[in-house]
Amino acid sequence: MSNIKVLDKEFEPYLSEELIQEKISELAQQLNKEYAGKRPIFLSILNGSFLFTADLFKQITIEAEVCFIKLASYKGTTSSGNVITAIGLDANVSGRDIIIVEDIIDTGKTLHHFLPQLESSSPASIKIAVLLNKTEALAYPVKVDYACFDIPNKFVVGYGLDYDGLGRNTKAIYQLKA
Ligand code: IMP
Ligand code: MG
Ligand closest in space to the Cα of 75: 1
**Residues pairing with 108 in the sheet:** none
Contact 129, 27 (CB under 8 A): yes
Please give the distance, rounded to the nearest whole angstrom, from the Cα atom of residue 74 to the centre of ligand 2.
Answer: 8
Instruction: Identify the H or E element spanning 131.
Output: strand 125-133
Cα-Cα-Cα-Cα dihedral of 28, 41, 55, 10, to 10°?
A: -110
Q: Side chain identity at 152, as an amino acid letter?
A: P
Contact 149, 16 (CB under 8 A): no
Question: What domains sit in the chain, N to C, each tagged with a CATH number?
Answer: 23-151 (3.40.50.2020)
Backbone angles phi, psi at 98, to 5 degrees: -105, 135
Q: Which of 110, 169, 101 is nearest to 142 (CA)?
A: 110
Question: In the prediction, which pLDDT does 20 show?
Answer: 98
Backbone angles phi, psi at 106, to 5 degrees: -110, -95
The tens place of each residue's pLDDT in the chain, 178 residues long, gives 899 999 999 999 999 999 999 999 999 999 999 999 999 999 999 999 999 999 999 999 999 999 999 986 655 666 656 776 766 787 789 999 999 999 999 999 999 989 998 999 999 999 999 999 999 999 999 999 999 999 999 999 999 999 999 999 999 999 999 8
Residue 47 CB–ligand 1 contact under 6 Å: no
Whole-angstrom distance, CA of residue 170 vs CA of residue 178: 20
Is residue 164 annotated as part of the catalytic site, yes or no? Answer: no
Residue 102 CB–ligand 1 contact under 6 Å: yes
Report the relative pairing of strands 156-157 and 173-176 from DSSP bridges: antiparallel
Question: In the prediction, which pLDDT does 65 show?
Answer: 97
Whole-angstrom distance, CA of residue 175 vs CA of residue 110: 22
> Which residue's CA is the closest to the ligand 1 atom numbered 3?
107
In this prediction the pTM is: 0.93
Helices 50-57 and 17-34 cross at an angle (nearest 10°) of 60
Evaluate the omega torsion of the peptide bond into residue 47 and state whether it is cis, within 30 degrees of 0. Answer: yes
Contact 53, 69 (CB under 8 A): no
